[in-house]
A = this chain, B = another copy of it.
Amino acid sequence: MATRGDGAREYGRDSPGPVSINKDLVAATSTPLVLAILAEGDSYGYAILKRVRELSGGELEWTDGMLYPVLHRLERSGFVDSRWEKTESGRRRKYYRVTKDGREQLADERRQWRAVDETLRRVWSALTESAGGDGSPVPLPQRS
């Protein structure tokens, strides 16, 4: 059974603001975030989903349908490998583990993120003076 379609509403309700992250940003985040979570220790799909929710304070709501393809892609790329395990209760789980290549990839993703983040901060900082720190409509400071 897939999450979302109904479930998401419930969890998102009480978070500071239902920010709802756009497609592109979600896509840009998935690889570094999954690799980083796996770098904390081996894990499996469902647990990763919960960890993402936890780390983001409920702001990021990934569906299982979007996570598994990411995991498969990472495996095809050699950044993670997987093994099946069985809990005492009999439930099967596929555990993922980050490889050496995966750690290198993670380091590279961080470098990229940093480069972009610094660029954005640089251009935003100038704007911030007129805005109230974070966003909000901005009272048209232009003279042109």
Residues of A within 8 A of B (CB): 17, 19-22, 24-25, 27-29, 31-33, 36-37, 39-42, 52, 55-57, 59-60, 100, 103-104, 106-120, 122-124, 126-127, 131, 134-138, 142, 144
* Copies of chain A in the complex: 2
B25 near A123 with CB under 8 A, answer: no
A110 — nearest CB in chain B belongs to which residue? B135
Other than the given A20-B112, A24-B24, A107-B135, 20 more pairs (CB < 8 A) read A17-B111, A19-B112, A21-B116, A24-B27, A25-B28, A25-B112, A27-B27, A29-B119, A33-B119, A36-B124, A39-B127, A40-B126, A40-B127, A55-B119, A55-B122, A57-B119, A60-B115, A100-B137, A110-B134, A110-B135
Q: Please, which residues of chain B bring their CB within 8 A of the CB of A29? A: 116, 119-120
Q: Please, which residues of chain B bring their CB within 8 A of the CB of A32? A: 120
Q: At the interface, is chain A mostly helix, strand, loop or mixed?
A: helix
Known: A19-B112, A28-B27, A41-B142. A33 touches B137 (CB 8 A): no
Q: List 7 A-B contacts (CB under 8 A).
A: A21-B112, A24-B31, A25-B28, A33-B120, A40-B123, A55-B122, A111-B134
